[in-house]
Structure 1
């Protein structure tokens, strides 16, 4: 079961812990029963719902040795989403403390039989009810904001030092900026929507143009400006190499429709919250009988998950060994290049090219969407990648492996462009596989695990499978604007059917002299006999 978000805060319980727990129990019950009831007994209770099967569980706990009292509420929902597809939603609310301090956690979980299902993440409504208690809810030293906080230019140093670079900060900070052009205040409306959805697991700040320039002046490319939104994690924010840890969303991702872009912002902040450890007092909640029964029922599923993780771990270990070998080869190449430049009296060229100047193709990207944007911006002379080639990228961007997949995809796209350029300049007689096998520094691994230049006869002869591979291409290649593409890069192997694939057509000997990418997306959209 995936944890979508984990919302936590602590406060001083106004009126004492007994009063706070009584109110929390009542508010949870009202929310869980859609206002039908305000009290439920300890144990499990079925609740009638029109569109789902719902079970509500309540229990009170106490640790007399530590003078702690607590209450736990759990809602289990089961929905039928279509043919042979079900989704289980779980919201766990835990409140524990004494008369001096109360800790609250609201965890949103989901399990589905449809791995391609898109989920719109937002805080459960019960969070608003619980945050409605009098007090000053905080996580660490930062308060939980209920709305976007505007930061003027002269307040930027405070934002940097007391929020973004605050040691031990747990709450993600979402910074929304004003576009350079007039957008009628839509950027503020977007910030309001984001703040409503992330309430409890992130704080939202807004910077007008002057403030965003002030932030950029102080932190350089680690800042955010011109309508972009950036999610600052608790990772360091000192060097430009820290940038990938703080995900940025350009204005183009928020236009013309807000929905997809805002979903990505919320998913990023929620993923950060889900990794937070729970506070020690919550250990008071040992598994209830109902939870133990659920755990026993899920033993087989957990064993299957374990086997899958072990297999994925083996695959990743092999990839790491291959990468280590590749890094050593590249280091050898750099040493030889430096020696040749020194002989020519041009050693300054080698040392001057160490850092990314920020004016050319980036060394790294944040995710696969950014890899595509970089390819469209910097590789267009050798690579054609139309928007029609992009498929269901949202599930790839939301994955915990988004950064790894993005940078691997970026490497693959650069390899395709480098091959096209090399073919044009040298008339290399082989194809992409042969070029990669030569061991050029910009190449891609010429192995069956990472590269396939065709599909099986079964796939090509099956109308169901083959039709998926009829992909968009320039009309200079085919007047119909489509052609069958079987060659593809395997961005990741094993572990999930959402592992990315990049399908391409080699026209380096044709009219365009380019590589044409017709598909970038998850593996499940390219089914085969093993799907």
Structure 2
């Protein structure tokens, strides 16, 4: 239609049939333009009688049921969506809380590491100054001295507390089971620990006095030795006969910083016990002005470094 007119088509319309034109009423714009409700009234008068006589098609009920189910499904989806949204917000809040806790935990771990480093340094000061060896909490929560009771404990303490002046090679400890099965093993461990602390004090002295040419044996007799270690428990070297026959057993592993071949001959040693069987401990070492450290290449039983007087077991 044109100029605002509208037409209501009756049922069974056939636009190609010229005779159908008179069956379908139309209304010009002049009939309703001055009253907005007029068009609805006119359309209702025409369509009302027809609509009351017609029944919905057979498919109507099925389609209506499907639409109702779809509407119910949409409601369920909306409910589910809202629940998921709430759960998502809760998860986001938990993630934020976990991130905050992780950040706090990292700060606590860093603080714990810092305090542990300070505690280790304090222990080291007490150890190298001869005040106390190691510590542990007793049943009443107080610190008490805990001396080493095995050669492996000694090695652990040397690497932990004395490493800046005494370098115990990773392969230096040998035959620890042989030494530790002896009834005197605990006493040997404590004596060895005292010897290592004396080597630390010697290394400190040599590092602070680079112009000095003093071996450990001589240092033990001097005024700078406050460790309590005496030179009668120290050997300056080996006899010529021992070196001729057993010289290869005095070559020990060292750091590549000390030797490109990563091995070096050592003859100075600590006598943890001066006389005894093949299981008595020995500690072979050398001082290096280059590294300013005492390098220990061997800590083990005498039977692994025999001399000409050693008896075969």
2:287 match = 506
TM-score (norm 1): 0.31
C-alpha displacement of 1:461: 2.1
Please say if residues 254 and 295 of structure 2, whose CA atoms lie closer than 8 Å, have aligned partners that are also in contact: yes
- Are the structure 2 counterparts of residues 375 and 457 from structure 1 closer, same or farther at C-alpha, using a change threshold of 3 Å? same
TM (norm. structure 2) is 0.52
Mapped pair 1:438 → 2:219 = no
Instruction: After TM superposition, give the deviation of residue 482 of structure 1 in Å.
Output: 0.2
Alignment gaps of 5+ in structure 1: 1-348
Separation in structure 2 between the aligned mates of residue 486 and residue 354 of structure 1, nearest angstrom: 31
Change (3 A) 1:480 1:407: same
Give the distance between the partners of 1:499 and 1:400, measured in 2 at CA: 11
Q: CA deviation at 1:527?
A: 1.3
- Secondary structure at 1:505 match in 2: strand
User: Structure 1 stretch 396-405 or stretch 436-445: which is displaced more?
Assistant: 436-445
1:369/1:495 CA distance change after superposition, 3 Å: same
Give the Å deviation of 1:475: 1.0
1:485 counterpart = 2:269: no
Looking at secondary structure, tell me which structure has more helix per residue.
Answer: 2
Partner SS, residue 135 of structure 2:
coil
Q: Deviations over 1:326-366 (max 9, x none)?
A: xxxxxxxxxxxxxxxxxxxxxxx9xxx96668399x76211
For residue 388 of structure 1, give the secondary structure of its aligned residue in structure 2: coil
- In 1: Cα distance, 2:179 partner to 2:187 partner: 10
Match 1:526 to one of 294, 297, 305: 305
Q: What's the counterpart of residue 135 of structure 2? A: 358
> Pick from 168, 177, 199: which aligns with 1:385?
168
Aligned residue for 1:399, secondary structure, equals coil
CA–CA distance in 1 between the matches of 2:174 and 2:240? 25
CA contact (8 A) 2:134 2:146 kept: no
1:5-20 equivalent positions in 2, closer than 5 A: none
Can you list the C-alpha shifts for 1:199-221, whole angstroms capped at 9, x where unaligned?
Answer: xxxxxxxxxxxxxxxxxxxxxxx
Partner of 1:408: 191
Q: 1:400 to 1:471 in 2, by over 3 A?
A: same
Are 2:244 and 1:461 equivalent residues in the alignment?
Answer: yes
In structure 2, distance between residues paired with 1:357 and 1:521? 22
User: Which residue is equivalent to 2:46?
Assistant: none
Aligned residues: 173
Asked whether 1:398 is paired with 2:177, we answer: no
The 5 A counterparts of 1:132-211 are: none
Deviation at 1:396, TM superposition (A): 1.1
Q: Distance in 1 between matches of 2:281 and 2:270?
A: 9
Q: Which protein, 1 or 2, shows the higher relative CO under an 8 Å CA cutoff with sep ≥ 6? A: 2
Distance 1:424 1:443, change over 3 A: farther
Contact 1:396 1:500 in 2 (8 A): yes
Secondary structure in structure 2 of the residue aligned to 1:369: helix
In the aligned structure 2, how far is the partner of 1:426 from the partner of 1:371? 28
Summarize deviations over 1:182-214 as a string: whole Å, max 9, x none: xxxxxxxxxxxxxxxxxxxxxxxxxxxxxxxxx
Check whether the contact 2:135–2:146 (CA below 8 A) recurs between aligned residues. Answer: no
- Partner in structure 1 of residue 81 of structure 2: none
**8 A Cα contact 2:271 2:283, kept in partner:** yes
Pick the structure with more strand per residue: 1
SS at match of 2:171: helix
C-alpha deviation, 1:370, in angstroms: 0.7
Distance 1:470 1:527 in 2: 13
Structure 1 residue 497 corresponds to structure 2 residue 282: no
- Per-residue deviation, 1:410: 0.3
Do 1:435 and 1:443's aligned partners in 2 also have CA atoms closer than 8 Å? no
Q: For the residues of structure 1 that align with 2:213 and 2:168, how far apart are their CA atoms?
A: 24
Structure-1 separation of matches of 2:148 and 2:184: 13
Residues 293-372 of structure 1: pairs in structure 2 closer than 5 A: 358=135, 364-372=147-155
> Does the Cα contact within 8 Å between 1:382 and 1:420 map onto a contact in 2?
yes
Following superposition, the deviation at residue 430 of structure 1 comes to 1.6
Aligned-pair distance for 1:495? Answer: 2.9
The answer as to whether partners of 2:133 and 2:147 remain within 8 angstroms in 1 is: no
Q: How does 1:204-283 map to 2 (within 5 A)?
A: none
